[in-house]
Amino acid sequence: MSAPSCNDRALLNDWHVVADCLALTLDVPFTTRLMGVDLIVTRSVLDTRIVRADTGHRVCSEGRYGFVWACLGKPERDPFYVRESDEIDRHLLSGGSIAVNVSGLRLVENFLDMGHFPFVHTGWLGEEPHTEVLPYNVTVTEEDEILATECKFYQPIASPTAQQGMLVDYTYKVIRPYTVALYKSNPVHPTRMDVIVLFVQPVDEDNCVAHSYLCYLKDGMEAAAVRSFMQLIFAQDKPILENQVPKRLPLDPRAETPIRADIVSIKYRRWLGERAITYGAIPLHVASSAGVNGRMEG
Amino acid sequence: MITLYDYELSGNCYKLRLLMSFLGVDHTVVPVDFYPGREHKADWFLKLNPLGQLPVLQDDDLLLRDAQAILVYLAAKYDTSDCWYPRDNPALLGEINQWLAFADGITGTASAARLHDALFYDFDIEAARAGAHRLFRILDEHLWFGEQEGRDWICSAAHPTVADIACFPYVMLSEEGGISRQDYPAIRRWCDRVKRIKGFIVMSGVFPAGPAKAA
Protein backbone atom coordinates (compact mmCIF):
# COMPACT_ATOMS: atom_id res chain seq x y z
CA MET A 1 0.00 0.00 0.00
CA SER A 2 1.53 3.32 -0.95
CA ALA A 3 0.83 6.30 1.24
CA PRO A 4 0.00 9.65 -0.34
CA SER A 5 3.21 11.51 -0.90
CA CYS A 6 4.18 14.89 0.37
CA ASN A 7 3.83 18.07 -1.70
CA ASP A 8 5.27 20.51 0.81
CA ARG A 9 8.44 21.81 -0.78
CA ALA A 10 9.87 23.01 2.51
CA LEU A 11 9.70 19.45 3.87
CA LEU A 12 10.84 17.68 0.70
CA ASN A 13 13.94 19.88 0.48
CA ASP A 14 14.82 19.56 4.13
CA TRP A 15 16.77 16.94 6.06
CA HIS A 16 15.00 14.37 8.21
CA VAL A 17 16.43 11.76 10.55
CA VAL A 18 15.56 8.27 9.29
CA ALA A 19 17.66 6.00 11.52
CA ASP A 20 19.72 5.84 14.66
CA CYS A 21 23.22 4.66 13.71
CA LEU A 22 23.19 2.37 16.76
CA ALA A 23 20.27 0.45 15.29
CA LEU A 24 22.02 -0.31 12.01
CA THR A 25 24.01 -3.48 11.47
CA LEU A 26 26.84 -3.19 8.98
CA ASP A 27 25.76 -4.21 5.45
CA VAL A 28 22.27 -5.24 6.61
CA PRO A 29 19.61 -3.16 4.83
CA PHE A 30 17.22 -1.30 7.14
CA THR A 31 13.82 -0.39 5.74
CA THR A 32 12.02 2.74 6.79
CA ARG A 33 9.60 5.26 5.35
CA LEU A 34 9.83 9.01 5.00
CA MET A 35 6.79 11.05 3.99
CA GLY A 36 5.20 8.04 2.35
CA VAL A 37 8.34 6.98 0.47
CA ASP A 38 9.87 3.62 1.38
CA LEU A 39 13.62 3.88 1.85
CA ILE A 40 16.35 1.29 2.23
CA VAL A 41 19.24 2.39 4.39
CA THR A 42 22.47 0.41 4.15
CA ARG A 43 25.48 1.21 6.21
CA SER A 44 28.81 -0.11 5.02
CA VAL A 45 32.36 0.50 6.13
CA LEU A 46 32.74 3.21 3.51
CA ASP A 47 29.47 5.08 3.65
CA THR A 48 25.77 5.04 4.33
CA ARG A 49 23.60 4.69 1.28
CA ILE A 50 19.89 5.42 1.10
CA VAL A 51 17.81 4.38 -1.90
CA ARG A 52 14.11 4.64 -2.68
CA ALA A 53 12.46 1.22 -2.68
CA ASP A 54 10.12 2.21 -5.55
CA THR A 55 12.64 3.57 -8.08
CA GLY A 56 15.96 2.37 -6.69
CA HIS A 57 17.24 5.95 -6.98
CA ARG A 58 19.67 7.16 -4.42
CA VAL A 59 18.57 10.00 -2.15
CA CYS A 60 20.76 12.54 -0.37
CA SER A 61 22.12 11.26 2.90
CA GLU A 62 24.17 12.62 5.71
CA GLY A 63 25.39 11.47 9.11
CA ARG A 64 25.16 13.76 12.08
CA TYR A 65 24.70 13.47 15.87
CA GLY A 66 24.71 9.68 15.60
CA PHE A 67 21.74 9.65 13.23
CA VAL A 68 21.33 8.99 9.52
CA TRP A 69 19.58 11.83 7.70
CA ALA A 70 17.80 11.81 4.37
CA CYS A 71 16.52 14.50 2.04
CA LEU A 72 14.06 13.39 -0.64
CA GLY A 73 14.49 16.52 -2.77
CA LYS A 74 17.32 19.02 -3.07
CA PRO A 75 18.64 20.11 0.31
CA GLU A 76 18.20 23.87 0.69
CA ARG A 77 19.92 24.10 4.06
CA ASP A 78 21.92 22.02 6.52
CA PRO A 79 20.37 20.00 9.31
CA PHE A 80 19.81 22.05 12.43
CA TYR A 81 23.09 22.79 14.15
CA VAL A 82 22.96 21.80 17.81
CA ARG A 83 25.45 24.17 19.39
CA GLU A 84 25.65 22.19 22.64
CA SER A 85 27.00 19.19 20.73
CA ASP A 86 30.38 20.97 20.69
CA GLU A 87 30.62 21.11 24.48
CA ILE A 88 32.86 18.33 25.72
CA ASP A 89 31.37 18.16 29.21
CA ARG A 90 28.07 16.83 27.89
CA HIS A 91 26.70 13.38 27.22
CA LEU A 92 25.66 13.36 23.56
CA LEU A 93 23.41 10.43 22.93
CA SER A 94 20.34 9.15 21.23
CA GLY A 95 17.41 8.50 23.54
CA GLY A 96 16.29 5.64 21.30
CA SER A 97 14.07 5.96 18.25
CA ILE A 98 10.45 5.13 18.97
CA ALA A 99 7.64 4.81 16.44
CA VAL A 100 4.36 6.52 17.33
CA ASN A 101 1.04 6.08 15.56
CA VAL A 102 0.15 9.78 15.28
CA SER A 103 1.15 12.70 13.07
CA GLY A 104 4.59 14.01 13.94
CA LEU A 105 3.10 17.49 14.24
CA ARG A 106 0.95 16.24 17.14
CA LEU A 107 4.12 14.89 18.73
CA VAL A 108 5.86 18.25 18.45
CA GLU A 109 2.85 20.00 19.93
CA ASN A 110 2.69 17.56 22.85
CA PHE A 111 6.38 18.17 23.51
CA LEU A 112 5.59 21.90 23.85
CA ASP A 113 2.77 21.38 26.32
CA MET A 114 3.36 21.82 30.05
CA GLY A 115 -0.30 21.54 30.99
CA HIS A 116 -0.33 17.74 30.81
CA PHE A 117 2.65 17.20 33.15
CA PRO A 118 0.70 16.59 36.39
CA PHE A 119 -1.76 14.24 34.70
CA VAL A 120 0.38 12.18 32.33
CA HIS A 121 3.75 12.37 34.10
CA THR A 122 2.34 12.19 37.63
CA GLY A 123 5.04 12.12 40.26
CA TRP A 124 7.77 12.96 37.76
CA LEU A 125 7.24 16.13 35.74
CA GLY A 126 4.25 17.32 37.74
CA GLU A 127 1.71 16.49 40.39
CA GLU A 128 -1.53 17.81 41.72
CA PRO A 129 -2.29 20.39 43.04
CA HIS A 130 0.56 22.13 41.14
CA THR A 131 -1.36 22.19 37.87
CA GLU A 132 -1.24 25.84 36.87
CA VAL A 133 0.83 26.81 33.84
CA LEU A 134 2.18 30.28 34.64
CA PRO A 135 2.19 32.84 31.83
CA TYR A 136 5.21 32.60 29.53
CA ASN A 137 6.48 34.45 26.46
CA VAL A 138 6.33 33.34 22.87
CA THR A 139 8.17 35.03 20.01
CA VAL A 140 9.36 34.18 16.52
CA THR A 141 13.11 34.69 16.16
CA GLU A 142 15.01 36.18 13.22
CA GLU A 143 15.87 32.62 12.20
CA ASP A 144 12.14 31.95 11.96
CA GLU A 145 12.03 29.71 14.99
CA ILE A 146 9.30 29.78 17.63
CA LEU A 147 10.78 30.56 21.01
CA ALA A 148 8.90 30.10 24.28
CA THR A 149 10.74 31.56 27.24
CA GLU A 150 10.22 32.00 30.98
CA CYS A 151 8.36 28.73 31.22
CA LYS A 152 8.32 27.54 34.81
CA PHE A 153 6.85 24.41 36.25
CA TYR A 154 7.02 22.63 39.58
CA GLN A 155 8.41 19.11 39.06
CA PRO A 156 8.71 16.38 41.73
CA ILE A 157 11.46 14.52 39.80
CA ALA A 158 12.67 16.82 37.07
CA SER A 159 15.75 14.86 35.99
CA PRO A 160 17.47 11.49 36.42
CA THR A 161 19.38 12.84 39.41
CA ALA A 162 16.77 15.04 41.05
CA GLN A 163 16.59 14.46 44.81
CA GLN A 164 13.62 16.69 45.51
CA GLY A 165 10.90 18.66 43.81
CA MET A 166 11.93 21.92 42.17
CA LEU A 167 10.60 24.78 40.13
CA VAL A 168 12.18 24.12 36.76
CA ASP A 169 12.96 26.70 34.09
CA TYR A 170 12.25 25.70 30.54
CA THR A 171 12.86 27.22 27.14
CA TYR A 172 11.25 25.67 24.10
CA LYS A 173 12.28 26.19 20.53
CA VAL A 174 10.46 24.97 17.44
CA ILE A 175 13.24 24.89 14.87
CA ARG A 176 11.62 23.28 11.87
CA PRO A 177 8.09 21.94 11.43
CA TYR A 178 9.20 18.50 12.66
CA THR A 179 12.08 19.56 14.93
CA VAL A 180 11.71 20.91 18.43
CA ALA A 181 14.15 21.48 21.28
CA LEU A 182 13.79 21.82 25.01
CA TYR A 183 16.30 23.62 27.22
CA LYS A 184 15.93 22.80 30.89
CA SER A 185 17.87 24.19 33.84
CA ASN A 186 20.48 21.73 35.12
CA PRO A 187 20.03 20.88 38.82
CA VAL A 188 23.80 20.96 39.53
CA HIS A 189 24.73 23.95 37.37
CA PRO A 190 21.70 26.25 37.48
CA THR A 191 23.16 28.68 34.94
CA ARG A 192 23.47 25.99 32.27
CA MET A 193 20.80 24.07 30.44
CA ASP A 194 20.36 20.42 29.56
CA VAL A 195 19.08 20.06 26.02
CA ILE A 196 16.75 17.57 24.40
CA VAL A 197 16.22 17.88 20.66
CA LEU A 198 13.40 15.90 19.15
CA PHE A 199 13.94 15.10 15.48
CA VAL A 200 10.60 13.76 14.32
CA GLN A 201 10.57 11.58 11.21
CA PRO A 202 7.28 11.96 9.34
CA VAL A 203 6.75 8.33 8.26
CA ASP A 204 3.44 9.23 6.70
CA GLU A 205 0.75 11.69 7.71
CA ASP A 206 -0.51 9.54 10.59
CA ASN A 207 2.73 7.95 11.76
CA CYS A 208 6.07 9.20 12.93
CA VAL A 209 9.27 8.15 14.62
CA ALA A 210 10.60 10.21 17.49
CA HIS A 211 14.39 10.40 17.42
CA SER A 212 15.57 12.17 20.53
CA TYR A 213 19.03 13.64 20.89
CA LEU A 214 20.10 14.21 24.48
CA CYS A 215 22.78 16.73 25.44
CA TYR A 216 23.04 16.52 29.22
CA LEU A 217 25.84 17.85 31.39
CA LYS A 218 27.89 14.86 32.55
CA ASP A 219 28.44 16.16 36.06
CA GLY A 220 26.65 13.75 38.41
CA MET A 221 24.78 12.05 35.56
CA GLU A 222 25.22 8.58 34.04
CA ALA A 223 24.57 8.21 30.32
CA ALA A 224 22.32 5.17 30.88
CA ALA A 225 20.27 7.09 33.42
CA VAL A 226 19.71 9.96 30.98
CA ARG A 227 18.46 7.58 28.33
CA SER A 228 16.30 5.61 30.73
CA PHE A 229 14.66 8.79 32.08
CA MET A 230 13.88 10.00 28.57
CA GLN A 231 12.22 6.69 27.67
CA LEU A 232 10.27 6.53 30.91
CA ILE A 233 8.77 9.96 30.22
CA PHE A 234 8.25 9.36 26.52
CA ALA A 235 6.46 6.06 27.04
CA GLN A 236 3.98 7.82 29.32
CA ASP A 237 3.08 10.18 26.46
CA LYS A 238 2.87 7.47 23.83
CA PRO A 239 -0.57 5.97 24.55
CA ILE A 240 -2.04 9.45 24.99
CA LEU A 241 -0.64 10.55 21.62
CA GLU A 242 -1.83 7.40 19.89
CA ASN A 243 -5.35 8.01 21.12
CA GLN A 244 -5.56 11.57 19.84
CA VAL A 245 -8.39 12.15 17.39
CA PRO A 246 -7.89 13.15 14.65
CA LYS A 247 -4.35 11.83 14.23
CA ARG A 248 -3.36 14.87 12.17
CA LEU A 249 -2.95 18.33 13.59
CA PRO A 250 -5.86 20.65 12.73
CA LEU A 251 -4.66 24.13 11.75
CA ASP A 252 -8.09 25.71 11.96
CA PRO A 253 -8.00 27.71 15.21
CA ARG A 254 -11.61 26.74 15.87
CA ALA A 255 -11.02 23.00 15.49
CA GLU A 256 -9.90 22.46 19.07
CA THR A 257 -10.37 24.70 22.08
CA PRO A 258 -7.13 26.12 23.43
CA ILE A 259 -6.62 27.75 26.82
CA ARG A 260 -4.10 30.40 27.85
CA ALA A 261 -1.49 27.75 28.65
CA ASP A 262 -1.57 26.74 24.98
CA ILE A 263 -0.28 29.96 23.46
CA VAL A 264 2.83 28.26 22.14
CA SER A 265 0.77 25.61 20.39
CA ILE A 266 -1.57 28.26 18.95
CA LYS A 267 1.53 29.97 17.62
CA TYR A 268 2.89 26.68 16.27
CA ARG A 269 -0.30 25.90 14.36
CA ARG A 270 -0.43 29.40 12.91
CA TRP A 271 3.28 29.27 12.01
CA LEU A 272 2.76 25.96 10.18
CA GLY A 273 -0.20 27.43 8.27
CA GLU A 274 1.73 30.55 7.28
CA ARG A 275 4.58 28.39 5.96
CA ALA A 276 2.11 26.28 3.97
CA ILE A 277 2.96 23.08 5.81
CA THR A 278 0.17 20.60 5.15
CA TYR A 279 1.82 17.20 5.57
CA GLY A 280 0.57 15.67 8.83
CA ALA A 281 -1.88 18.53 9.26
CA ILE A 282 -5.51 19.20 8.48
CA PRO A 283 -5.05 22.44 6.58
CA LEU A 284 -7.29 25.38 7.28
CA HIS A 285 -9.29 25.38 4.03
CA VAL A 286 -9.95 21.62 4.19
CA ALA A 287 -11.14 21.88 7.77
CA SER A 288 -13.50 24.76 7.07
CA SER A 289 -14.98 23.26 3.92
CA ALA A 290 -15.61 20.02 5.83
CA GLY A 291 -17.37 22.17 8.40
CA VAL A 292 -19.71 23.59 5.78
CA ASN A 293 -20.34 20.41 3.85
CA GLY A 294 -19.87 17.56 6.22
CA ARG A 295 -21.17 18.62 9.60
CA MET A 296 -24.18 20.19 11.21
CA GLU A 297 -23.01 23.40 12.85
CA GLY A 298 -24.59 24.72 16.05
CA MET B 1 19.30 -8.27 49.29
CA ILE B 2 17.33 -8.44 46.06
CA THR B 3 18.68 -6.89 42.86
CA LEU B 4 16.48 -6.61 39.81
CA TYR B 5 18.11 -6.16 36.39
CA ASP B 6 15.45 -3.99 34.93
CA TYR B 7 14.24 -2.08 31.91
CA GLU B 8 11.46 0.44 32.45
CA LEU B 9 9.53 -0.31 29.26
CA SER B 10 9.62 -4.09 29.71
CA GLY B 11 6.31 -5.61 30.77
CA ASN B 12 8.16 -8.68 32.02
CA CYS B 13 10.29 -6.55 34.36
CA TYR B 14 7.15 -4.71 35.43
CA LYS B 15 5.61 -8.02 36.61
CA LEU B 16 8.35 -8.27 39.22
CA ARG B 17 8.22 -4.62 40.28
CA LEU B 18 4.48 -5.05 40.66
CA LEU B 19 4.67 -8.18 42.83
CA MET B 20 7.43 -6.69 44.98
CA SER B 21 5.25 -3.62 45.47
CA PHE B 22 2.26 -5.76 46.48
CA LEU B 23 4.46 -7.69 48.91
CA GLY B 24 6.33 -4.64 50.18
CA VAL B 25 9.68 -6.25 49.38
CA ASP B 26 12.69 -3.93 49.23
CA HIS B 27 15.01 -4.27 46.29
CA THR B 28 17.57 -2.37 44.28
CA VAL B 29 17.30 -1.87 40.55
CA VAL B 30 20.09 -2.06 37.99
CA PRO B 31 18.83 -0.36 34.81
CA VAL B 32 19.83 -2.26 31.68
CA ASP B 33 20.00 -0.25 28.46
CA PHE B 34 17.84 -2.64 26.45
CA TYR B 35 17.10 -0.16 23.71
CA PRO B 36 18.91 1.16 21.80
CA GLY B 37 22.02 0.03 23.71
CA ARG B 38 21.22 -3.75 23.51
CA GLU B 39 23.00 -4.15 26.82
CA HIS B 40 21.09 -7.41 27.42
CA LYS B 41 23.29 -8.90 24.68
CA ALA B 42 26.52 -7.57 26.22
CA ASP B 43 29.07 -10.01 27.62
CA TRP B 44 28.53 -9.00 31.22
CA PHE B 45 24.80 -9.57 30.94
CA LEU B 46 25.10 -12.90 29.08
CA LYS B 47 27.03 -14.17 32.09
CA LEU B 48 23.91 -13.51 34.16
CA ASN B 49 21.53 -14.89 31.55
CA PRO B 50 22.93 -16.71 28.51
CA LEU B 51 19.55 -16.27 26.80
CA GLY B 52 20.15 -12.51 26.73
CA GLN B 53 16.70 -11.70 28.10
CA LEU B 54 15.31 -9.51 30.83
CA PRO B 55 14.48 -9.68 33.67
CA VAL B 56 17.11 -11.26 35.86
CA LEU B 57 16.87 -11.26 39.61
CA GLN B 58 19.56 -11.89 42.16
CA ASP B 59 18.74 -12.66 45.78
CA ASP B 60 21.95 -13.17 47.71
CA ASP B 61 23.52 -16.20 45.97
CA LEU B 62 20.49 -17.13 43.92
CA LEU B 63 20.41 -15.97 40.32
CA LEU B 64 17.13 -16.40 38.41
CA ARG B 65 15.90 -15.57 34.93
CA ASP B 66 12.39 -15.68 33.44
CA ALA B 67 9.63 -13.42 34.77
CA GLN B 68 7.24 -16.27 35.58
CA ALA B 69 9.88 -18.29 37.43
CA ILE B 70 10.87 -15.23 39.44
CA LEU B 71 7.24 -14.49 40.32
CA VAL B 72 6.95 -18.02 41.72
CA TYR B 73 10.16 -17.65 43.70
CA LEU B 74 9.34 -14.26 45.18
CA ALA B 75 5.80 -15.21 46.16
CA ALA B 76 6.87 -18.57 47.63
CA LYS B 77 9.59 -16.94 49.65
CA TYR B 78 8.27 -13.53 50.68
CA ASP B 79 4.47 -13.69 50.68
CA THR B 80 3.61 -14.20 54.35
CA SER B 81 -0.12 -14.34 53.49
CA ASP B 82 0.54 -17.33 51.21
CA CYS B 83 -2.06 -16.02 48.76
CA TRP B 84 -0.08 -15.13 45.65
CA TYR B 85 1.33 -18.67 45.25
CA PRO B 86 -0.36 -20.91 47.85
CA ARG B 87 2.19 -23.62 48.42
CA ASP B 88 -0.18 -26.07 50.12
CA ASN B 89 -2.93 -26.10 47.47
CA PRO B 90 -1.92 -28.47 44.66
CA ALA B 91 -4.98 -27.88 42.49
CA LEU B 92 -4.57 -24.13 42.65
CA LEU B 93 -0.83 -24.40 41.98
CA GLY B 94 -1.58 -26.43 38.87
CA GLU B 95 -4.05 -23.81 37.73
CA ILE B 96 -1.61 -20.97 38.42
CA ASN B 97 1.13 -22.67 36.41
CA GLN B 98 -1.24 -23.29 33.55
CA TRP B 99 -1.86 -19.53 33.34
CA LEU B 100 1.82 -18.68 33.82
CA ALA B 101 2.49 -20.65 30.64
CA PHE B 102 -0.41 -18.81 29.01
CA ALA B 103 1.24 -15.52 30.01
CA ASP B 104 4.33 -16.60 28.13
CA GLY B 105 2.12 -16.96 25.08
CA ILE B 106 0.89 -13.39 25.57
CA THR B 107 4.52 -12.28 25.63
CA GLY B 108 5.20 -14.17 22.40
CA THR B 109 2.31 -12.44 20.62
CA ALA B 110 1.09 -9.16 22.16
CA SER B 111 4.55 -8.12 23.36
CA ALA B 112 6.10 -9.08 20.04
CA ALA B 113 3.57 -6.88 18.22
CA ARG B 114 4.45 -3.96 20.48
CA LEU B 115 8.18 -4.42 19.85
CA HIS B 116 7.49 -4.54 16.14
CA ASP B 117 5.39 -1.38 16.09
CA ALA B 118 7.37 0.80 18.47
CA LEU B 119 10.95 -0.46 18.30
CA PHE B 120 11.21 -1.85 14.74
CA TYR B 121 11.62 -5.53 15.60
CA ASP B 122 11.47 -7.72 12.54
CA PHE B 123 8.49 -9.91 13.47
CA ASP B 124 5.53 -11.18 11.46
CA ILE B 125 3.13 -8.54 12.74
CA GLU B 126 -0.07 -10.06 11.38
CA ALA B 127 0.74 -13.43 12.98
CA ALA B 128 1.61 -11.75 16.28
CA ARG B 129 -1.67 -9.80 16.37
CA ALA B 130 -3.78 -12.79 15.33
CA GLY B 131 -2.09 -14.90 17.99
CA ALA B 132 -2.76 -12.27 20.65
CA HIS B 133 -6.43 -12.00 19.68
CA ARG B 134 -6.80 -15.76 19.93
CA LEU B 135 -5.38 -15.73 23.46
CA PHE B 136 -7.38 -12.67 24.48
CA ARG B 137 -10.59 -14.36 23.32
CA ILE B 138 -9.80 -17.38 25.49
CA LEU B 139 -8.91 -15.21 28.49
CA ASP B 140 -11.99 -13.02 28.05
CA GLU B 141 -14.33 -16.01 27.99
CA HIS B 142 -12.60 -17.53 30.97
CA LEU B 143 -12.95 -14.30 32.94
CA TRP B 144 -16.55 -13.80 31.84
CA PHE B 145 -17.60 -17.25 33.03
CA GLY B 146 -15.65 -16.60 36.21
CA GLU B 147 -17.64 -13.45 36.83
CA GLN B 148 -20.87 -15.42 36.46
CA GLU B 149 -19.63 -17.70 39.22
CA GLY B 150 -18.56 -14.79 41.40
CA ARG B 151 -14.86 -15.23 40.67
CA ASP B 152 -12.89 -11.99 40.14
CA TRP B 153 -9.48 -13.40 39.30
CA ILE B 154 -7.92 -15.72 36.76
CA CYS B 155 -7.57 -18.69 39.11
CA SER B 156 -10.13 -20.31 41.42
CA ALA B 157 -9.38 -18.32 44.51
CA ALA B 158 -11.01 -15.42 46.36
CA HIS B 159 -7.85 -13.38 45.86
CA PRO B 160 -5.44 -12.58 43.02
CA THR B 161 -2.46 -14.85 42.39
CA VAL B 162 0.81 -14.49 40.46
CA ALA B 163 -1.17 -15.67 37.39
CA ASP B 164 -3.00 -12.32 37.36
CA ILE B 165 0.30 -10.45 37.57
CA ALA B 166 1.86 -12.55 34.81
CA CYS B 167 -0.99 -11.91 32.37
CA PHE B 168 -1.63 -8.25 33.17
CA PRO B 169 1.23 -6.16 31.65
CA TYR B 170 1.17 -7.26 28.02
CA VAL B 171 -2.62 -7.29 27.98
CA MET B 172 -2.55 -3.73 29.28
CA LEU B 173 0.08 -2.61 26.74
CA SER B 174 -1.53 -4.41 23.78
CA GLU B 175 -2.76 -1.28 22.03
CA GLU B 176 0.86 -0.24 21.50
CA GLY B 177 1.03 -3.27 19.22
CA GLY B 178 -2.20 -2.38 17.43
CA ILE B 179 -4.28 -4.91 19.40
CA SER B 180 -7.50 -3.32 20.62
CA ARG B 181 -9.23 -4.59 23.75
CA GLN B 182 -12.55 -3.20 22.56
CA ASP B 183 -14.03 -6.67 22.07
CA TYR B 184 -12.93 -8.06 25.42
CA PRO B 185 -15.14 -6.48 28.10
CA ALA B 186 -14.36 -9.08 30.76
CA ILE B 187 -10.64 -8.48 30.25
CA ARG B 188 -11.19 -4.75 30.63
CA ARG B 189 -13.09 -5.22 33.91
CA TRP B 190 -10.41 -7.58 35.20
CA CYS B 191 -7.64 -5.05 34.30
CA ASP B 192 -9.54 -2.48 36.34
CA ARG B 193 -9.69 -4.86 39.32
CA VAL B 194 -5.95 -5.53 39.11
CA LYS B 195 -5.34 -1.77 39.16
CA ARG B 196 -7.31 -1.52 42.40
CA ILE B 197 -5.23 -4.08 44.32
CA LYS B 198 -3.60 -2.39 47.30
CA GLY B 199 0.01 -1.54 46.46
CA PHE B 200 -0.57 -1.34 42.70
CA ILE B 201 2.05 0.70 40.82
CA VAL B 202 2.16 1.78 37.18
CA MET B 203 4.80 1.56 34.49
CA SER B 204 5.12 3.94 31.53
CA GLY B 205 2.17 3.22 29.27
CA VAL B 206 -0.07 1.91 32.07
CA PHE B 207 -2.28 4.40 33.87
CA PRO B 208 -3.86 4.05 37.31
CA ALA B 209 -7.54 3.22 37.69
CA GLY B 210 -9.90 6.19 37.59
CA PRO B 211 -11.44 7.61 40.74
CA ALA B 212 -14.76 5.80 40.13
CA LYS B 213 -15.56 2.93 42.46
CA ALA B 214 -14.71 -0.58 41.42
CA ALA B 215 -16.99 -2.14 38.82
Is there a contact between B175 and A224 if contact means CB atoms under 8 Å apart?
no
Residues A122 and A51 in one domain: no
| B31 vs A101, A224, A233: nearest CB | A224
Containing structural domain, residue A62: 9-71
Which residues on chain B place their C-beta less than 8 Å from a C-beta of chain A? 8-9, 31, 33, 35-37, 39, 117-120, 175-176, 178, 204-205, 207
Whether pLDDT at A237 is above 70? yes
The reply to whether A202 falls in a domain is yes
For residue A224, name the pLDDT band (cuts at 50, 70, 90).
confident
Q: A281 in a domain, yes or no?
A: no
Give yes or no: residues A40 and A172 share one domain.
no
Q: Is residue B209 part of a domain?
A: no
Round to whole Å and give the CA distance between B147 and B151: 5
Q: Tell whether A44 and A186 lie within a shared domain.
A: no
Does residue A196 or residue A289 have the better pLDDT?
A: A196
Confidence of residue B33 (pLDDT cuts 50, 70, 90): very high
pLDDT at B16 over 90: yes
* Same domain for B186 and B94: yes
Regarding whether A213 and A118 lie in a shared domain, the answer is yes
Distance from CA of B60 to the nearest CA of A (A): 25
Whether A80 is in a domain gets the answer no
Which residue of B lies nearest to A124 if distances are taken between CA atoms?
A: B204
State the pLDDT at residue A23.
87
Question: To the nearest whole number, what is the mean pLDDT of chain B?
Answer: 96
For residue A228, which residues of chain B lie inside 8 Å, CB to CB? 8, 31, 33
> Is A235 within 8 Å of B9 when comparing Cβ atoms?
yes
Residues A65 and A198 in one domain: no
Instruction: Tell me which residue in B8, B36, B117 faces A22 most closely, judged by beta carbons.
Output: B36
Domain housing B107 = 90-195
What is the average per-residue pLDDT within B64-87? 97
Given a cut of 70, is residue A4 above it in pLDDT? no
> Residue A258: its pLDDT value, please?
83
- Same domain? B65 vs B108: no
Q: Which residues of A touch B (CB under 8 A)?
A: 20, 22-23, 94, 96-101, 224-225, 227-228, 231-236, 238-239, 242
Q: Is the pLDDT of residue B214 over 80?
A: no
Give A-chain residues touching B200 at CB under 8 angstroms: none
- Chain-chain contact of B37 with A224 (C-beta, under 8 angstroms): yes
Which of these three, A215, A244, A273, is where a domain ends?
A: A244
Same domain, A166 and A222: yes
Instruction: Please indicate, yes or no, whether residues B73 and B126 belong to a single structural domain of this protein.
Output: no
List the CATH number of the domain containing B33.
Answer: 3.40.30.10
Measured CA to CA, the distance from residue B69 to residue B196 in angstroms comes to 25
The CATH number of residue B116's host domain is 1.20.1050.10
CB-nearest partner of A99 from B33, B117, B205? B117
DSSP line for chain A: -PPPPP--HHHHTS-EEEEEGGGPPTT--EEEEETTEEEEEEE-SS-EEEEETTT--B-EEEEETTEEEEESS---SPPPP-GGGG-TTEEEEEEEEEEESS-HHHHHHHHT--TTHHHHSBTTTB-TT-------EEEE-TTS-EEEEEEEEEESS-STT--S-EEEEEEEEEEETTEEEEEEE-SSSTTSEEEEEEEEEEEETTEEEEEEEEEEE-TT--HHHHHHHHHHHHHHHHHHHHT-SSSSEE-STTTS---GGGHHHHHHHHHHHHTT--TTEE-HHHHHHHHHHHS---
**Pick from A95, A265, A111, A87: nearest CA to A180:** A111
A287, part of any domain: no
B71 and B118 in a single domain? The answer is no
Query: pLDDT for B84-137, tens place per residue?
Result: 999 999 999 999 999 999 999 999 999 999 999 999 999 999 999 999 999 999
Nearest Cα to Cα of residue A138 among A127, A130, A123, A149: A149
Name chain A contacts of B33, Cβ cutoff 8 Å: 224, 227-228
What residues of chain B lie within 8 A of the CB of A100, using their CB? Answer: 118
Last residue of a domain, one of B51, B78, B105: B78
Residues of B whose CB is below 8 A from A99:
117-120
* Interface predicted TM-score (ipTM): 0.90
A249 inside domain: no
User: Of A244, A261, A287, which one is at a domain's C-terminal end?
Assistant: A244
Query: What pLDDT does A140 receive?
Result: 97
Is A235 within a domain?
Answer: yes
Closest residue in B to A97 (Cα) is B119
Residues B103 and B59 in one domain: no
pLDDT at A3 over 60: no
CATH code for the domain of A37: 2.20.25.680
Asked which of A76-85, A113-122, A148-157, A183-192 is least confident by mean pLDDT, the reply is: A183-192
Q: Which one of A244, A263, A291 terminates a domain?
A: A244
What is the distance in angstroms between the Cα of B133 and the nearest Cα belonging to chain A? 20
Same domain, B114 and B185: yes
Supply the pLDDT for residue B203: 97
For residue B7, what are the CA distances in angstroms to A22, A58, A157?
Answer: 18, 38, 19
Contact A239 B207 (CB under 8 A): yes
pLDDT of residue B213: 58
Instruction: Determine, for residues A228 and B36 on separate chains, whether the beta-carbon distance falls below 8 Å.
Output: no
Same domain, A240 and A120: yes
Are A212 and A197 a contacting pair, CB within 8 Å? yes
Is B215 within the bounds of a domain? no
- Say if A172 falls within a structural domain: yes
Mark whether A235 and A118 lie in a shared domain. Answer: yes
pLDDT tops 70 at residue A104: yes
Counting the structural domains of chain A, the total is 2
DSSP string, B47-87: HH-TT--S-EEEETTEEEE-HHHHHHHHHHHH-TT--SS-T
With a cut of 80, say whether residue A297 has pLDDT above it: no
Higher per-residue confidence, A45 vs A180: A180
Give yes or no: residues A194 and A64 share one domain: no
Residue A108 counted as domain residue: yes
Kindly state whether residues B133 and B179 are assigned to the same domain. yes
Quote the mean pLDDT of chain A: 91
Set of chain A residues whose Cβ sits within 8 Å of the Cβ of B10: none
User: Do residue B36 and residue A239 have CB atoms under 8 angstroms apart?
Assistant: no
For residue B211, is pLDDT > 80? Answer: no
Chain segment A110-168, per-residue pLDDT in tens:
999 999 999 999 999 999 999 999 999 999 999 999 999 999 999 999 888 888 898 89
Name the residue facing A239 among B33, B117, B205 (closest C-beta). B205
- Stretch A199-228: mean pLDDT: 95
Condensed to tens digits (0 to 9), the pLDDT of residues B130-164 reads 999 999 999 999 999 999 999 999 999 999 999 99
A290: pLDDT confidence band, cut at 50, 70 and 90? very low
Domain count along chain B: 2
